Amino acid sequence: MTSDASLLSFAADNPYFQAGFGLLGVGAAMTVARTGSIWAATVLRRRMLVSLEIDNRDRAYEWFLAWMAHRTPPETSRAGRWMRSHELSVATMIERRSNGSSSVFFQLVAGPGTHWFKYKGAWMQVKRQRETRSMMGGQQTGISVPWETVTLTTLSRDRTLFPQLLAEARDLGMRGQEGKLVIHTAWGIEWRPFGKPRRKRPLKSVVLDAGLSDKIEGDITAFLGRRQWYADRGVPYRRAYLLHGPPGSGKTSFIQALAGSLSYDICIVNLSERGLADDKLNHLLSNVPERSFVLIEDIDAAFNKRVQTTADGYQSSVTFSGFLNALDGVASGEERIVFMTTNHVEKLDPALIRPGRVDFMALVDNASPVQARTLFENFYGESELVADELTRLAQRVEGIVQTKLENGQRISMAALQGHFIRRPVQEAVSTLHEIFPAP
């Protein structure tokens, strides 16, 4: 007992022990305070702030970034509307034209980092984060696609502004597509717009043989109006078209014009794409964007020998049976319109073009005399020629094509169009016979 008392007395009188005990107490108190402050800050944040996360798989992601880029620049904005940001990224857009030329546009958008802006009187924080891991499907295409998120944070009382902001970003993003045709291509396992929206091409600008354009348009219009008819009979609501004929006859141009006239977009499937396999193709065809045509060009080159190989020796992973199943198998999607084109219908496997897989086949051939005359009138109908003179020249064009046809000489509509583009009306007629190949 005496020894214990002496030990306590020693500890009480020892200044080093007192200092150590004091530091320990201060440290413990600070730890408790720090933990308490973190807890309090977390609770305060949960109660007073609200966050919205958008990842780059969602269409709203691109809309929001474009919306931020479109807002008034800091140099000309009203005081307090925008806080200057030093983290920027560039978005490059390429516009390709039918004549082979292209234009490149650059747009600066908010880069990875933290940004602030004021929206309808409320301050919002934007954090754009990029991770090293790739999105699902990036490895399937051989392209590493970084996973990105944008997180918006504001006061809880202003949470109702989020839907308004997203609607504004959506309207801005869709505004550039109004009255235009959007081309989609596969990116991983999802569809993404390719380039800028294209101006719709008038359907009458693609001249097919007499009555063919109306026949195809009428068939697809009837299909679009019979959704309930298909449902009542348990028939899958999908339709496939095959346009075949020589190169330059207008197959793809007509599909593009038809999509524009019906306010549809186009989703292009490249069966020679690296990394494209049966499961990915099936997923893409089962998740086509609404109001879109699926376009598969040169189907004869893809499965001529049921083996698909690119020029550098790469063999696609898409099998012939996998392609057939993606078109009309058990797991294939509905509410889908597929257009296929080929220059050599005789090379196609009968299993591909049987009824049920291809519902409508049409030959889009080289120029007929009537087609040549119609194309001529479309090009020169607004010239300074009087009506009688234009009619005489149009009849002459028709006669030249008829004579060449009787001699076994055929010419594509693309060649005629190129000829009319390059020459004035009188010269176009007088030199027309020169562009025909030898018999």
Using CA atoms of 415, 416, 420, 422 in order, give the dihedral in degrees to the nearest 10. Answer: 20
Rounded to 5 degrees, φ, ψ at 105 are -120, 140
Rounded to 5 degrees, φ, ψ at 244 are -125, 155
Q: Which of 71-85, 275-289, 347-361, 384-398 has the lowest mean pLDDT?
A: 71-85
Q: What is the mean pLDDT of residues 408-420?
A: 95
Grade residue 130 by pLDDT with cuts at 50, 70 and 90. confident
DSSP state letter for 84: -
Grade residue 399 by pLDDT with cuts at 50, 70 and 90. very high
Higher pLDDT, 254 or 65: 254
Select from 387, 391, 386, 378 the least CA-distant residue to 421: 378
Select from 121, 107, 119 the least CA-distant residue to 62: 107
Residue 245 burial (10 A CB sphere; 0-12, 13-18, 19+): buried
Q: Which of 137-151, 226-240, 280-294, 421-435 has the lowest mean pLDDT?
A: 137-151
pLDDT of residue 66: 80
Q: What is the mean pLDDT of residues 329-340?
A: 77
Q: What is the mean pLDDT of residues 80-100?
A: 56
Domain boundaries, the chain: 49-175, 198-363, 369-435
Q: Is the dihedral of CA 157, 160, 164, 166 positive or negative?
A: positive
Higher pLDDT, 302 or 264: 264
How far is CA 251 from each of CA 28, 67, 215, rounded to the nearest angstrom?
79, 37, 14
How far is CA 59 from each of CA 106, 159, 233, 262, 273, rounded to the nearest angstrom?
20, 21, 35, 23, 23
Pairing of strands 292-296, 265-268: parallel
pLDDT of residue 61: 85
pLDDT of residue 140: 38
- pLDDT tens digits along 346-373: 999 999 999 888 999 999 999 999 999 9
pLDDT of residue 142: 42
Contact 184, 265 (CB under 8 A): yes
- Give me the residues paired with residue 107 across strands: 91
Grade residue 77 by pLDDT with cuts at 50, 70 and 90. very low
Q: Which of 21-30, 89-98, 391-400, 401-410 has the lowest mean pLDDT?
A: 21-30
Q: What is the mean pLDDT of residues 120-135?
A: 78
pLDDT of residue 79: 38
Query: Is 141 a residue whose pLDDT tops 50?
Result: no
Grade residue 307 by pLDDT with cuts at 50, 70 and 90. very low
- In CATH terms, is domain 198-363 a member of 3.40.50.1820? no
Query: Is 288 a residue whose pLDDT tops 80?
Result: yes
pLDDT of residue 255: 96
Contact 252, 154 (CB under 8 A): no
CA–CA separation, 306 vs 175, rounded Å?
A: 43
Grade residue 146 by pLDDT with cuts at 50, 70 and 90. low
Residue indicated by tokens 């516009």 = 95
